[in-house]
Structure 1
Amino acid sequence: MKILLVGEYSRLHNSLQEGLRQLGHEVTLIATGDFFKNYPADIKLERTFDQGISKKLKVGLYTFFGIDLTALSIKRQFFQHQEKLKDFDVVQLINESPFATTPNVEQTIISFLKQHNRKLFLLSCGTDHLSVSYALSDALPYSILQGYKNGTVSKERYKYILKYTWPEYKKLHEFVFTNVEGIIASDMDYHLPLAGHPKYYGLIPNPVNLTKLPYLEMPSEGPIVIFLGINRNNYHFKGIRYFEEALELLQKKHSEAIEIKVVENVPYAEYIETYNRAHIVLDQVYSYDQGYNALEAMAKGKVVFTGAETEFYDFYNLQDQVAVNAVPDALKIAEALSDLIENRSKIKTISKNARAFVEKHHDYIEVAKQYLRVWNGEEH
């Protein structure tokens, strides 16, 4: 089968590509690399006008004339490769806005892909109109928009998420849902808003290439290393302040027993290596399931503080603890960290459970097979 994967936010499409190729399929990935993360792609579209004087020019043109130079550059680069982007059996978008440009450019690109290829699918992965609308509702106890909803964080901090509720993004959402054959969710946070939709094909777990992520035995002696990676762009959406506050509380109680490592806005290749020494990885608070970074850390045997709510355990029918559910409460996070420090054997137990869970449910080749069944119409 000839497959085109469009966009990359987390290495999900890279791992899926690797799994599909292992199964003998021809797979092309086109993406921008997702800003500073710089994920690889077969066809790499470069984001321009995003820094320095050129960014000021871009902002000025957009403010006064509504012209987005970065979006126009992405569009131009895309169509320079148009002959390579035709005649695929399956095209999968990683999001309604796979290139993070303007809705009209995204719609133009998606229209081309729909016209020149056989099947078009959407992966619900990352914020979009439906997930943001769901987060704004009171369907769940907390969401990525919690700070906005309770007034503790300014609306300005959420503009890059709230934009998905704007009319032009709603129009893009409706266009994509009309034109795709089916929609797949990457985890519980995107499954819940889609449940019951007639085009929803269900949740397929994130594919993780375990050959690139060996299990790391953690030292049983010495300080317990706690790692926190911060991306300023999603600082408020992930509830990072709760981790920072919890670490301050922990320092007062266990300063001699711990070592804290904090990094900020580093490329993916550097990030994935930086936490190798860590026993514990602090990932995110406002989620109900694990994102991709959490799963990769779990594969390496880290104890990850992330989304691990009841809905997640029920979906996978889990009996053993595979991660620590991080809730929006610094004191509770600090207490959970203290419990691990004072009962070090728990770290080893959760570490092994985490690796076993990823091996069972997220193996990149087995997950690739699930995608193939859905794309071929064998599962709905």
Structure 2
Amino acid sequence: MRILLVGEYSRLHNSLKEGLQQLGHEVTIIATGDYFKNFPADIKLTRKYDQGILRKFKITIYLIFRKDITQISITKQFFKHKKKLMNYDIVQLINERPFSIKGKNALKIIDFLKQNNKKLHLLACGTDYISVKYAADKKFRYSILSPLFEKKINKKKYLHIIDYISKRSYQYHQKVFRKISSISASDIDYVLPYQNHPYFKGLIPNPINTKKLTYREFEKYSPIVIFHGINKTNYYKKGNDIFDASLKIIQKKYKNKVDIITVSNLPYIEYIEKYNSAHILLDQIYAYDQGYNALEAMAKGKVVFTGAEKEFLEYYNLQEDEVCINALPDVNYLVEKLSWLIENPSKIQEIGKNARSFIEEHHDYKKVAQEYIKVYETN
């Protein structure tokens, strides 16, 4: 098969590409790199006018002419490569807004991909109309909108998420969904909102290339290193404020027994290098399953605080705290779990081993690639 993977948020598409290539398929990625993370792509589109004086220029143009010059730039770059983006058997969109642009410019791209290729497959991955609407209707026990509901943050700072359920975004969503053939979810967080959708083909776990991620068994646990990586834009959405509050207590309680590393907005390559020395990694709170960063850290044998709700445990037939720690939006709970690990370092080793085995069994990039091929081949 010739397969075009459109967009990249986490290295999901890069690992999937590696798995598909191992199975003998021809694969191309076109993406923007996802802002500061700078993920690789075969065809790289550059986001312009997003920083410094150019951003001020962009805002001025938008206020006067109601035109987003970043979106226009990405669209022009896309069509410069149009000859390389035709005649694929499958085009997979990582999200209904694969380049984080919307409206007419995004629809031009989706229309082109639909008209010049055989089939469009969509991933339920990242924020989109259906998942945000599900959260806005409070169908989750907690969600990325919980900080807004709890008035931790004002609505203005959450507009980039609320925008997904605006009337204009809903119309865009409908137009995209008329062009796709099928949908799969990358984890349980998207299975829940999509499970009754007629195009939905089920969960295909995130692919992890364990050959590129070395498992590390620690010989000493003094001090215990805790790593907290922050994306400033998503600080409240990921629950980083709750992690920060918990770490202040842990630092005071254990002093010389712990070494806490906190970093912000690092490119992907730097990020994974920074946490190599960590025993424990704090990933995200408002989740029911693990995101990509969590899975890669688990593959390295880290104990990860992330989504591991009962829906996840039941799906994989796991026990609580078996492969990771369910990170709840509760400071006292997080302090209790961190304290338990600090006082029982043998548990860090045990959970780390289980985590690596779990990734190898359920997230192996070649096994996952085979699951994608089965979905691609369905009518």
CA distance in 2, matches of 1:149, 1:319: 31
Secondary structure of the corresponding residue to residue 178 of structure 2 = helix
Q: More deviation in 368-377 or 56-65?
A: 56-65
Q: Contact 1:29/1:42 (CA < 8 Å) preserved in 2?
A: yes
Residue 351 (structure 2) pairs with residue 368 (structure 1): no
Identify the residue that residue 63 of structure 1 maps to in structure 2.
63
**Aligned mates of 1:64, 1:211 — CA distance in 2:** 51
Report the count of equivalent residues. Answer: 378
Which residue of structure 2 lines up, in the alignment, with residue 344 of structure 1? Answer: 345
The answer to whether the 8 A contact 1:68-1:102 is kept is: no
Secondary structure of the structure 2 residue equivalent to 1:49: coil
Tell me the distance in 2 between the aligned counterparts of 1:174 and 1:134: 16
Contact 2:221 2:345 (8 Å CA) reproduced:
no
1:190 aligns with 2:218: no
The equivalent of 1:328 in structure 2 is 329
Q: Does the aligned pair in 1 maintain the 2:102–2:172 contact within 8 Å?
A: no
**In 1: Cα distance, 2:138 partner to 2:94 partner:** 26
Q: Which residue of 2 aligns with 1:28?
A: 28
Amino acid at match of 1:90: I
Shift of residue 78, structure 1, vs aligned partner: 0.3
Q: Secondary structure at the match of 1:261?
A: strand
Query: Runs of 5+ in structure 2 lacking a partner?
Result: none
Distance (whole Å) between structure 2 residues aligned to residue 55 and residue 193 of structure 1:
35
The one-letter code of the counterpart of 2:293 is: N
Aligned to 2:296: 296
Please tell me the residue identity of whatever aligns with 1:243: F
How many angstroms apart in 1 are the aligned matches of 2:375 and 2:221? Answer: 47
Q: Which amino acid aligns with 1:331?
A: N
TM-score, normalising length: structure 1 = 0.98
In structure 1, the residue matched to 2:206 is: 206
Deviation at 1:266, TM superposition (A): 0.5
Q: After superposition, what is the alpha-carbon deviation per residue over 1:182-217, rounded to whole angstroms, capped at 9, x for unaligned?
A: 011000111100011110011100000001101011
| Separation (CA, whole Å) in 1 of partners of 2:245 and 2:330 | 9
Cα-Cα RMSD: 1.0
- Quote the Cα distance in structure 1 between the aligned partners of 2:175 and 2:356: 40
Q: Secondary structure at the match of 2:277?
A: coil
1:300 and 1:355 in contact (8 A); partners too: yes
Matches for 1:311-326 after TM superposition, within 5 Å: 311-319=311-319, 321-326=322-327
Distance 1:132 1:76 in 2: 29
Q: What is aligned with 1:3?
A: 3
Q: TM-score, normalised by structure 2?
A: 0.98
Q: How does 1:132-281 map to 2 (within 5 A)?
A: 132-281=132-281
How far did 1:151 drift? Answer: 1.6
- Give the distance between the partners of 1:145 and 1:221, measured in 2 at CA: 37
- In 1, Cα distance between equivalents of 2:196 and 2:130: 13
Query: For 1:103-145, what per-residue CA distance to the aligned partner results, in whole angstroms no more than 9, with x for missing partners?
Result: 2211110000000000111001100011111111221221001
Is the partner of 1:164 in helix, strand or coil? helix
Report the 3-state secondary structure (helix = DSSP H, G, I; strand = E; otherwise coil) of the residue aligned with 1:270.
helix
Q: Distance in 2 between matches of 1:8 and 1:172?
A: 20
Structure 2 SS opposite 1:262: strand
Deviation at 1:102, TM superposition (A): 2.6
Task: Give the conservation status (yes or no) of the 8 Å contact 2:184–2:200.
Answer: yes
Q: Where does structure 1 differ by over 6 angstroms across 4 or more consecutive aligned residues?
A: none
User: Residue 178 of structure 1: CA displacement?
Assistant: 1.4
Alignment of 1:66-77 (within 5 A): 66-77=66-77
**Corresponding letter in the other structure for 1:316:** Y
Q: Cα distance, 1:152 vs. partner?
A: 2.1
Question: In structure 1, how many angstroms separate the alpha carbons of the residues matched to 2:157 and 2:352?
Answer: 35
Gaps of at least 5 residues in structure 1 are none
Shift of the alpha carbon at 1:51?
Answer: 1.1
Secondary structure of the residue aligned to 1:285 is coil
Aligned equivalents of 2:310 and 2:258: distance in 1? 29
List per-residue Cα deviations over 1:289-331 (Å, max 9, x = no partner): 0000000000000000000000001111124710000000111
The percentage of counterpart residues that share the same residue type is: 56
CA contact (8 A) 1:249 1:334 kept: yes
Report how far residue 230 of structure 1 moved.
0.4
3-state SS of 1:179 partner: coil
Find the aligned partners of 1:138 and 1:196 in 2 and give their Cα distance: 17
